[in-house]
Amino acid sequence: MSYPNSERKLAFITGAAGGIGFATAEHLAKDGYDLFLVDFNAELLEKAKQALGKYGVIIDSVVLDLADSENLLAVLTKRLETMEVDALVNNAGIGFARTVEQTTLDEWDRTFDVNIKATFITCKLIVPQMIARGGGAIVNVASAGAMVGLKNRVAYASSKAAVVGLTRCICADHAAQGIRINAMAPGTVDSPWIGKILADSDDPVATRKMMESRQLDGQMGTPAEVANGIAFLLSPEGRFVNGSVFTMDSGYTAV
């Protein structure tokens, strides 16, 4: 599939098969974006493509383990020869329920490979392309936990703090060249990721109540709500927002 010279915009989304990634893909498809979707789960990615097909946009995809940095770099370098990306959403992320003493080196490395190194690689490859074409918009999905910390999520929260730092540095270097890049920092979002955490919990009901209580209104967010925020940051209406951390957490980080 070849995208160059298309009159429509192309959005590149990682972690696109479910949760915030899928909701973002759906929102952007409704807005008329063609889509390039990346996920490690081939079955869910195919289901996502089928569900998005009703919007009549061009959809391409690739199954990738973002922790495999060399393969990610090689595959995307090749794919970008036939793509011109207007909007990049680095949404993919993983985490482990561990304190610093419990976290293994392998868990730490894999978390950072997926959450920050893969984000660095996509930006490294796509930012020059955007600059050459006069600019583009990027949203890196961080976390409210990047600002306040999370219990038992030391690698995850640390990696998301690194996402915020990367985002600000790219803005500082390239805003004058037409790059708009922001970090989206959601609070607790009712998604398949949360479902997995609850399934692994000794007391899913109590864990869910604890997660809900972190938001000041006692409710988790939805993937669609976060997708609305991402779409705004990518849109012309978000022109004056650059290098920011756009927090959507129902007050979680306010107190």
79-91 per-position pLDDT tens digit: 999 999 999 999 9
Q: Which DSSP letter does residue 251 get?
A: T
Give the pLDDT score at 1.
Answer: 45
Instruction: Say whether domain 10-186+224-244 belongs to CATH 3.40.50.720.
Output: yes
Encode pLDDT of 169-226 as tens digits. 999 999 999 999 999 999 989 877 777 777 878 888 888 888 788 888 888 889 999 9
Distance CA 205, CA 211 (A): 10
The residue ranking higher by pLDDT, 251 or 15, is: 15
> How high is the pLDDT of residue 6?
56
Backbone angles phi, psi at 196, to 5 degrees: -65, -40
Average pLDDT over residues 26-35: 98
Query: How many Å apart are CA 137 and CA 143, to the nearest integer?
Result: 19
Q: Is the pLDDT of residue 25 over 70?
A: yes
Rounded Cα distance between 45 and 65, Å, is 13
Residues 157-185: tens digit of each pLDDT = 999 999 999 999 999 999 999 999 999 99
The mean pLDDT of the chain is 94
The pLDDT of residue 210: 82
| Active centre residues (catalytic) | 156
pLDDT, tens only, 98-137: 999 999 999 999 999 999 999 999 999 999 999 999 999 9
Position 191 scores a pLDDT of 79
Judge contact between 201 and 207, C-beta under 8 A: yes
* Percent of the chain whose pLDDT exceeds 90: 80
- pTM of the shown model: 0.93
Residue 2: pLDDT band (50, 70, 90) is very low
The domain ranges of the chain are 10-186+224-244, 191-220
Instruction: Give the three-state DSSP class for 29.
Output: helix
Instruction: Using the predicted structure, report yes or no on whether residue 43 has a pLDDT greater than 60.
Output: yes
> CB burial class (10 A; 0-12, 13-18, 19+) of residue 185?
buried
